[in-house]
Copies of this chain bind each other. A is one copy, B any other.
Amino acid sequence: MTDPSRGAGRSGRGPGRRPGPTETREEILAAARDLFAEKGFDGTSLRAIARAAGVDPTLVHHFFGNKEGVFVEALRFPMDPAVVLSRVASVPRDQAGELMVRTFLEVWRDEERRSPLLAMLRSAMTNERAAALLREFITSVLFSRAGKAVDAPPLRIQAAAGQLIGLMILRHVVRVEPLASASEDELVDIVAPTIQRCLAS
């Protein structure tokens, strides 16, 4: 719901001064996080986010492009799916698997980029609402985009995603050896053919 006092209240400034762009951006993200948590990805519109943040929808569009863009920022998703997938689509078809694996390994390498992914997965495993949010986001965005980028059936893309998720859990959560300490090249050797096979048929 629109709450005109929200901007001023949150940033602790008095009335009569307009919030700066950074504060407005943060207000929008805070409103978006609340709405995504409450209504899910599909149930949240860019217009509703703008309304909850008390700003004009064109401003949300200006900052984040579209609803995916807000989601990616709001949940600190560590990579922009559009960027990753256009990279994957730009290499020769027989290198798509390797590029995909290398991209994920690179994101996981950095704890700051890895932890929002793990947090999202952890929430989904313990909370049905969080599971629904993740389900809707990956269905609406990741898998449908990935399907267009690589022209593979959804079930195969999801099997590939399963391989990457399981690998991340064993490497960074359970930290089983030798997987936890294996080099990225060793993992690419083993896993890239799986992803390639999933994406290529």
Contact = CB atoms under 8 A, between A and B. Distances in A.
Nearest to A193: B197
A182 B179 CA distance: 29
Q: Oligomeric state, in number of copies?
A: 2
B194 A178 contact: no
Given A161-B166, A166-B166, A194-B163, A125 B156 contact: no
Interface residues on A, range: 35 or more
A177 B13 CA distance: 47
A126 B130 CA distance: 15
Interface in A167-196: 167, 169-170, 173-179, 182, 186-187, 190-191, 193-194
Interface in A118-142: 118, 121-122, 124-126, 131, 134-135, 138-139
A162 B170 contact: yes
A130 to B, nearest CB: 10
Given A125-B125, A165-B166, 7 more contacts: A155-B182, A155-B186, A155-B190, A159-B179, A161-B166, A162-B167, A194-B197
14 contacts: A122-B125, A122-B126, A131-B174, A131-B175, A138-B176, A143-B176, A155-B182, A158-B170, A158-B176, A162-B167, A162-B170, A162-B179, A164-B166, A190-B198
